Chain A
Amino acid sequence: MLNYLIQRAATIVPTLFFVSILIFGLQQLLPGDPALILAGEDHDPTVIAHLRSTLHLDDPLPLRYAYWAGGVLKGDLGESQRIKKPVLDLIIEKLPVTLELACIAIVIALLIGVTAGIVSAVAKDTFWDYAANIFALWGLSTPNFWLGIMMILLFSVTLGWLPASGYVSPFEDLKTNLASMIMPAFVLGNAIAAVLMRHTRSAMLQVLSSDYVRTARAKGLDERVVVLKHALRNALIPVITLGALEFGTLLSGAVLTEQVFSIPGFGKLIVDAVFNRDYAVVQGVVLFTATAYIMLNLLADVAYFLVNPRLRG
């Protein structure tokens, strides 16, 4: 067990190293002198000189990487040129909003996706199976920012049930918070629900045809008990693991969803940074996201290892 954990954790070190090189390399894509671009339109010589020294632009590339990576390891992701605040502080400030959105979205995705997957597998080749498959195709093909706009049109403009945009902290007013989060969370969860539906369907079909399920049926157990207790428990193991891997989709989707619903989260931070040429923030957000994704993958692997007795041997 411990050996597995150590081996698995060791594999993330080279991945993180290459992620850092990739993100550091983004800065090299800037056409021309980065100091001139980062200094803004004024081209103030003092600012340029300051940037040259803080970014070590006169040093060779490997040395510049070493300075940057050294800072990152100490938690220094640089400073926002626009807001004049450390990038890490900005990320920590915005992260809870996106995490709340992501958590509600994943709950919605699990509820819809797993339920549709079970129904589709149990009622294979029936109307419900086709309906669930059409739902999955719809979820995978609908751009979430368009779905968001259409939901605003229906639920905010036409029916007036929900606010079209804005964000209120749950600690200030939980009801208003949920009212403002339910549409974006549904939009975000929709595509993931489609993926989870397909995974659940295929896992359930495999499990439902296994010997132990046949034995459970032969014993005369109620079909509901067979499906929900015997089959679903085992079918959900890979689904949950694969669900964890959808974290990247969730964060990518959050960028657009937060833009549509004007939610001041992590996604809006990167978009605002892009338009204000706040490159340190862009790099910081990508680095943070990639690290979180790698860590979540590690946790998913460990969880899979823990819940699957065959792997523990």
Chain B
Amino acid sequence: MSALSVEQWAQKVKENDRKAAAKLISAIERKEKIARDILKQLFVPVGKTTVLGVTGSAGAGKSCLVSCLISAFRKRGKTVAVIAVDPSSPFTGGAFLGDRLRMQVHGRDKGVYIRSMASRGYLGGLARGTVDAMRVMEAMGHDIVIVETVGTGQDEIDVARLVQTCILVLTPTMGDDIQAMKAGIMEVAQIAVLNKADMPGKEKAILDLEVALRMRPTAEDGWSVPVVPTVATTEVGIDEVVGHIEKHQAHIRQGDGLKKFAFQKAEKEGSVLIKDEIERVIFDHIRGTGLRRKYLEKIVAGEIDPYTAVEEVMSLFIKKSAKGV
């Protein structure tokens, strides 16, 4: 791909060339400059793609549910792209990406594109570069893009700002009504799925969820969150989930809903990009200078506290950039 110009590469992605798209996502993961240049060409402000998020704790059945959703959308004649994020090891940097395995039944379907991404230290349930990869899949022309987060706990809610319809996958072992009432991830979903609904505790869990959801003030846009029991392994309840997705999609497409979503996404993406860029510029400046190590040793030796250290590094950087270095 490196022999291609930015324009040629972007064009190949737009023509749904899987290899060009796959190579571009790798370049994004490696933060290569050419990736950003191509992404500039692929940018569409308010696209027609349906963007879904699937989140929930590890082992709740997110990947299985996504596989079922793929089947359901394919039956309706839609093409589907999936980003499946799994965690990177903070110790070795390695990752075991096991989401694709649950979706391999779609392996040969040309209308389905699945990409596993390792989180690479990015917190918030997504991978660094997930938003860019979503853009690549939209540019490929897929009708539906699904982002599956890493197994989340209570607070990884980034996905909710980046997708139109967010599906939270829970199980009957999710805990009691107190858990259901908590802030964070319980608040982000437009659809709550109670998967593994063939396990004991289903009725109690549904009741806890419905009560907790009803205690909340109605969402600003008037959408009330349905609770849908499913058994993803046997495809029970999937049509109901798809029905609610379609209903929510119709709901946000009223008036200027899509524009509002685009604004919210741009806001989130902008803040992430700026933070990344600041980090990159600062670390590029201090890399190889031994400054980082020097400060760390000073902190450990008690010669400086971490707050002052950061202030000093920042002021050094600001002075440098003012001089145009």
Partners in one complex: no
B residues at A contact (CB < 8 Å) = none
